Chain A
């Protein structure tokens, strides 16, 4: 069964610190892996999209990595800001599917001043 699992479920860090969120998936083969940021009560916003052949993709202070051999991805946030408080969701698109996206449950990140 295609699954996407994220860890930790929640994380609290101090403003200015770095953090890394993990994503393990069983989807194989896949076309791309995405990370979204979702503020509470809002729709998700895309941070990065990596094809299966890419190892890393950056978007400002956000850097996503992908290891297709171990079926793991991570999202690293540098110099966290209060506005980074949100849920971060890992999403995998199975290859050959033109609409199906497998969504993780997300990691809820809280940045404290």
Chain B
């Protein structure tokens, strides 16, 4: 898992509640990413950030929000607008932007919404 931490490991929420997933890295990487993983599917990019105070939507950004106020931190908020939030969420970082830099992943957070 390198120098990337995600917390908590498991998270349970009731439908209609917003929830924030934490991601911290001590690798001094500029770029950070949030992915969602569902059974039988490849990872899908939610948001990515190439530099502090800047971030872009990925392929499935609807119902999610992020912030990048510090280089080390890239929290993800799953809002009540996300229709199917139950999934395994992975945070990653890289020294270059995604295509060139190897991505290092955190241990993931499994979110269950009922």
Which chain A residues have a beta carbon within 8 Å of chain B's beta carbons?
4, 31-32, 34, 41-46, 49, 89, 93-94, 97-106
Contacts and interface: CB of A to CB of B under 8 A. Distances in A.
A44 B41 CA distance: 14
Contacts of B50: 98-99
A106 B1 CA distance: 19
B42 A41 contact: no
Interface residues of B, number: 29
B105 A45 contact: yes
Interface of B: 1, 4, 31, 33, 40-45, 48, 50, 56, 58, 88, 90, 92, 97-100, 102-108, 110
B105 to A, nearest CB: 3
B99 A98 contact: yes
Contacts of A100: 45, 98-99
Nearest to A93: B99
B99 A103 contact: no
Nearest to A90: B42
A93 B98 contact: yes
B42 A4 contact: yes
A94 B1 CA distance: 25
Nearest to A104: B42
A42 B107 contact: yes
A94 B97 CA distance: 13
Nearest to A49: B102
A69 to B, nearest CB: 22
Contacts of B102: 34, 46, 49
Nearest to A103: B42
Given A31-B99, A42-B108, A99 B56 contact: yes
5 contacts: A32-B99, A93-B99, A99-B45, A99-B98, A103-B44
